[in-house]
Amino acid sequence: MRQIREDMIVNNLEPFEPTHPGEVIKDEIAYRGVTQRQLAQEIGVSCSLLNEVLNGKRAMNAHLAMLIAAALGLDAEPLLNLQTRYDMISAKRNPSFMQRIQAIRKIAAAL
């Protein structure tokens, strides 16, 4: 019987580029013909904060996800799940952070 590699199972595959929730929101507002400025005013945040989130330079938090979801009639939870997945993939691809994780695992194994 052939062995199936864990990293080749579809549910275990990581995207080449993780999707930041800002990309999804950016596409959504473009589709609706809403400007970033209009959305920022509607939800009561600065244009620069919203722009940083939409361009993946700032993380989405629960409050912002709920505000955007309310304004666009979306569900906030998938946006937060996208952010978590984006953060996890980014952390796994950070060599210095992964070295730190490995060092901690060695210490924990010795305890």
Number of domains in the chain: 1
**Would 3 be classed as within a structural domain?**
no
pLDDT digits (tens, 9 = 90+) for 49-94: 999 999 999 999 999 999 999 999 999 999 999 999 999 999 999 9
- The enclosing domain of 37 has a CATH number of 1.10.260.40
Lowest mean pLDDT among 1-10, 37-46, 49-58, 92-101: 1-10
Residue type at 70? A
**Would 4 be classed as within a structural domain?**
no
Check: CB of residue 48 under 8 Å from CB of residue 24.
no
**Would 40 be classed as within a structural domain?**
yes
In whole angstroms, what separates CA 69 from the centre of its chain?
15
pLDDT bucket at 8, cuts 50 / 70 / 90: low
pTM of the model: 0.81
Domain of 96, in residue numbers:
14-110
